[in-house]
Amino acid sequence: MEKRYQIFVSSTFEDLVDERKRVIETILNFNHIPAGMELFTASNDEQFEYIKKIMHNCDYYILIVGGRYGTINPDKGISYTEQEYLYALELGLPILAFLHETPYDLPSKRRDDENRILFDAFLKKVKTGKMIKYWSNIDNLTSSVLLGLNYEFNNNPRLGWVRGGESNSAELLKQINDLRLEKETIEKKYMEVKETLHENQPKFENLAEMSEVYTVRGIEMDENGDSNFYEDDFDFTWNDIFKAIGPHLNPCVKKDIFEKIVKCNLGYYGFEGIRDECIQTIRIQLYAQGLIYQDTISGSLHIGLTQKGEVYLLQIMTIKTQK
């Protein structure tokens, strides 16, 4: 029974037209249903009531934030975008938030300097109690949206939509629930076996410490379509590398998806990619450190976080008290 999810895309409008278009195309290519105000923006309470009806039928909520806070509802004192976000919270929709890395460095026409206080308060609210992802260009935004949705579909499935002619009888629902329980049991046993294997993973000596620097080299296509290897060096500590890609490895991903994650999260704007030998060095180094595991599943190499990797990621990414 093929299920399709309806996904609400929320953002300010005029400054993010291209980003919204690409994200909506990504959702459509993923065979799911995007929803949003593409024909008009929410600018009064009557239209917002219509938006609420649409959101009520959605399974997931995507929030894209650039540098603008958006049109403010004079009756509420907050923007319509923030109203949508608060209503998504009220509905209990899974929220995927994508915030621009440097919103205050965007061109003035893409910022809301006059609403800076409200904008900062909104960002703080969005960052509280949930995982967020930062973006700097359309390409890494759409890649992050795709990865985020794929994770939610697998780990937080929703009601979704099915064709009207397909059966949804009680017996079929019971079979689905039985399969779900069986899947959870198998996954639990798999994780137990996996951890046993990882405990016996070979240990390596004289590995670079996580605070040490590794040099990543980029690729750019020249005007003839040929790859140019940059001589410029991009230095990251192993901690920086692991923080950038680690959150995307739970659950495990295929090797080709792992490579896309590395390119997306370590790539610099203006570069087509990262040299393959750098990507493979990163994979092997993190494996040798015991932070990731590599398993062959159905003939494909899968990569995920070990228990050690999950614990270490929490150590380096959690915010510590300033007291």
Ramachandran bin of 77, using left for φ above 0, alpha for ψ from -120 to 50, beta for the remaining angles: left
Amino acid at 312: Y
User: Residue 215: helix, strand or coil by DSSP?
Assistant: strand
| One-letter amino acid for residue 84 of the chain | E
Tokens coding 103: 């919103």
Question: At which residue do the structure tokens 């994200």 appear?
Answer: 23
Q: Are 49 and 42 in contact (CB under 8 A)?
A: no
- Measured CA to CA in angstroms, residue 62 lies from 154, 262, 315 at distances of 17, 23, 28
What per-residue confidence (pLDDT) applies to 225? 53
Residue 35 · residue 59 · CB < 8 Å = no
Structure tokens that stand for 284 in this block: 């092997």
CA nearest neighbour of 17 among 31, 36, 33, 32: 36
Peptide bond into 247 cis (omega under 30): no
Dist CA 212 CA 263 (whole Å): 20
pLDDT tens track, the chain, 323 positions: 578 889 999 998 888 888 998 999 889 888 888 887 654 455 565 677 778 888 888 999 999 999 999 888 888 889 989 999 999 999 999 999 999 999 888 888 888 888 899 999 999 999 886 778 999 999 989 999 998 998 888 888 888 887 655 545 455 556 666 777 777 777 777 666 666 655 666 667 788 999 999 988 877 655 565 555 555 678 899 999 999 999 999 888 899 999 888 888 876 545 567 888 999 999 999 999 989 988 887 788 899 898 889 999 999 988 877 76
Q: C-alpha distances in angstroms, 138 versus 133, 145, 150, 266? A: 13, 10, 18, 15
Cβ neighbours for 229, distance < 8 A, ≥ 6 positions apart: 217, 219, 275
Compute the chain's Rg from CA coordinates: 22
- Cα–Cα distance measured from residue 305 to residue 292, given in angstroms and rounded to the nearest whole number: 4
> What is each CA distance from 50 to 16, 84, 221, in whole angstroms?
22, 11, 46
Residues 230 and 247: beta-carbon distance below 8 Å = no
Interatomic CA distance for residues 248 and 236, integer angstroms: 18
pTM for the whole structure: 0.51
